[in-house]
Amino acid sequence: GLKIATIGGGSSYTPELIEGFIKRFKEMPIKEIWLVDIEEGKEKLEIVGALAKRMIAKANLPIKIVLTLDRQAALKDADFVTTQFRVGQLAARVKDESIPLKYNTIGQETNGPGGLFKGLRTIPVILKICEEMLELCPNAWLVNFTNPAGMVTEAVLRYSNLKKVVGLCNGPIGIEKGIAELLKVSVNRIYVEFSGLNHMVFAKRIYLDGEDCTEYVMELMTGSAGNTISLKNIEDLGWEPEFLKKLGMVPIGYLRYYFQTSKMLAEQLVAVENEGTRAQVVQRVERELFELYKDETLAIKPPQLEQRGGAYYSEAACNLICSIYTDKRDIQTVNTQNKGAIADIDPMSAVEVNCVITKQGPIPLVTGELPVSIKGLVQQIKSFERTAAEAAVTGDYATALLAMTINPLVPNDTDAKKMLDELLAAHVEYLPQF
Ligand code: NAD
Ligand code: G6P
Ligand code: MN
Ligand code: MN
């Protein structure tokens, strides 16, 4: 029978995942789901694990849920390993999001200095998990959600012998649904060609019933219909309509940090005064969620989970796992080795593109050259991710400084060094390699 191991099982997103597996049980009869956490997450694991068990019982399915702090026991003979852990928990995210603000720099979980440090903390852990997988479940697929998912996938591709890795984000599914909503059609009538990197992806071409309707979508997006394409965790400040039309592609919300940097920074500084950083907002949402999860009469995923940015998280994960398992050969947007799908990115690197999902893994579909308007930025972020991954693996200070300084959200070398030093000190317990 199928065995799934989920690392970071104490996450408040776990009911999403369980719901997805329940829905697909007929196609994908899972026997065991092992939820793994660490000592710090033990209480969360027990609460959310008990809810998971109630959900399975209510669905009357023969799936066994195992809660454990023993990662190796969970990995043993697993078929799929999903990762949704956060090294340093939300307290570390608070630091990633607030320290850069002192230097008039965007404070964000997966972009700029915060994204760099989330990567530096996460990559050594994920590489250790890969090593253990090669030992304990050499045929299993690693389905990584842990952010920064693009940089993490890049690190696995370059520094691990594990080849069966896919990085995932809920963003592309959200964009696709948003476009369908704008067009007032069902999702299965549209085809969206995505190209780019994780959290730097663009809906490059959009087809409705086989006809290219990209320009029409851009008209709608900049017209009175408003923008229905957004993520819960990113403020929607509106785009300059002429800019967006000329860009001619739907950018994922994270592009706001690059194309509206000063507006987004000003917005963050106000938000921090009023409600704290996004991490602090999420801490409050999480407390509310875990109070609900404790209710022994609750056996479904509560709607309050929709306050989190990871909408459709389980759709992405469960669709992927299901299509690999059943050799479905449908098309999904995932982070995988480029292999020439994007002409202007190294074939070895991780990119976020449409792929045919087969039993042997994702087969990336050719999307050609990046449009000249975004080519430089996308290549620059890939250079940043590669340099950051190298810093995470080597623990080399100068490489980390290089990564920090070449990030387009970082204003200059002097502030880069100050932010690096402050963040290194703040996260010292989670950065043993430095
Ligand atoms: P969280 O803070 O609730 O962390 C999840 C769990 O990970 C916690 O219970 C924590 O104790 C545990 N953990 C920490 N270190 C661990 C380790 N070494 N081994 C096992 N467990 C460990 O986080 P969250 O808000 O639920 O998000 C989880 C992760 O998923 C984050 O990295 C987040 O960025 C990512 N995420 C990604 C997407 C995406 O689009 N790829 C969407 C949503 C969330
Ligand atoms: C989006 C991104 C995820 C990110 C999440 C943050 O959905 O795709 O990668 O983790 O937002 O949401 P949060 O509720 O934690 O701010
Ligand atoms: Mn994401
Ligand atoms: Mn700069």
Check whether 214 has a pLDDT greater than 70: yes
Report the distance separating Cα 395 and Cα 434, nearest Å: 5
The amino acid occupying position 254 is Y
Mean of the per-residue pLDDT values of the chain: 96
The Å distance, Cα 232 to ligand 2 centre, comes to 8
* CA nearest neighbour of 345 among 150, 120, 145: 150
| Residues 388-418: tens digit of each pLDDT | 999 999 999 999 999 999 999 999 999 999 9
Q: pLDDT value at position 363?
A: 98
Instruction: Please tell me the number of the ligand nearest to residue 231's CA.
Output: 2
Q: CA 90 → CA 167, 202, 207, 281, 286, distances in Å?
A: 21, 29, 40, 10, 10
| Residues 317-349: tens digit of each pLDDT | 999 999 999 999 999 999 999 999 999 999 999
The Å distance, Cα 229 to ligand 4 centre, comes to 28
Which protein residue has the closest C-alpha to ligand 1 atom 11? 41
Write out residues with Cβ below 6 Å of ligand 1: 7-8, 10-13, 36-38, 40-41, 44, 84-87, 89-90, 125, 145-147, 149, 168-170, 310, 313
**Which are the contacts of 382, defined by CB distance < 8 A and separation ≥ 6?**
154, 197, 345, 346, 349
The Å distance, Cα 171 to ligand 3 centre, comes to 6
Predicted TM-score (pTM) of the model is: 0.97
Q: How many CA atoms lie within 13 A of 148 on its CB side?
A: 34
Q: pLDDT value at position 227?
A: 64
Report the distance separating Cα 227 and Cα 234, nearest Å: 13
The Å distance, Cα 231 to ligand 2 centre, comes to 8
Average pLDDT over residues 290-295: 95
Report the distance separating Cα 21 and Cα 83, nearest Å: 15
Average pLDDT over residues 219-244: 82
Nearest atom in ligand 2 to 170's CA = 8
The Å distance, Cα 380 to ligand 4 centre, comes to 11
Report the distance separating Cα 280 and Cα 115, nearest Å: 17
Which protein residue has the closest C-alpha to ligand 2 atom 13? 309
Nearest atom in ligand 2 to 279's CA = 16
Nearest atom in ligand 2 to 310's CA = 7
Q: pLDDT value at position 226?
A: 63
Report the distance separating Cα 431 and Cα 122, nearest Å: 9
149-159 vs 112-136: helix crossing angle, rounded to 10:
50
Instruction: Please tell me the number of the ligand nearest to residue 132's CA.
Output: 1
The tokens for 328 are 């479905």
Q: pLDDT value at position 228?
A: 64
Check whether 233 has a pLDDT greater than 90: no
Average pLDDT over residues 253-282: 96
Instruction: Please tell me the number of the ligand nearest to residue 128's CA.
Output: 1
Write out residues with Cβ below 6 Å of ligand 2: 147, 169-171, 231, 233, 278, 282, 308-310
| Residues 49-85: tens digit of each pLDDT | 999 999 999 999 999 999 999 999 999 999 999 999 9
Instruction: Please tell me the number of the ligand nearest to residue 37's CA.
Output: 1
| Residues 341-395: tens digit of each pLDDT | 999 999 999 999 999 999 999 999 999 999 999 999 999 999 999 999 999 999 9
The tokens for 348 are 């070895």
Check whether 282 has a pLDDT greater than 90: yes
Q: pLDDT value at position 98?
A: 98
| Residues 141-160: tens digit of each pLDDT | 999 999 999 999 999 999 99
**Catalytically active residues, by annotation:** 254
Q: Which of 6, 7, 11, 68 to mutate to test the pocket of ligand 1 (most atoms within 8 A of CB)?
A: 11
Least confident of 170-179, 226-235, 311-320: 226-235
Q: Which of 13, 90, 173, 233 to mutate to test the pocket of ligand 2 (most atoms within 8 A of CB)?
A: 233
Q: Which of 109, 288, 307 to mutate to test the pocket of ligand 2 (most atoms within 8 A of CB)?
A: 109
More confident residue, 163 or 232: 163
Q: pLDDT value at position 381?
A: 98
Share of the chain above pLDDT 90, in %: 91
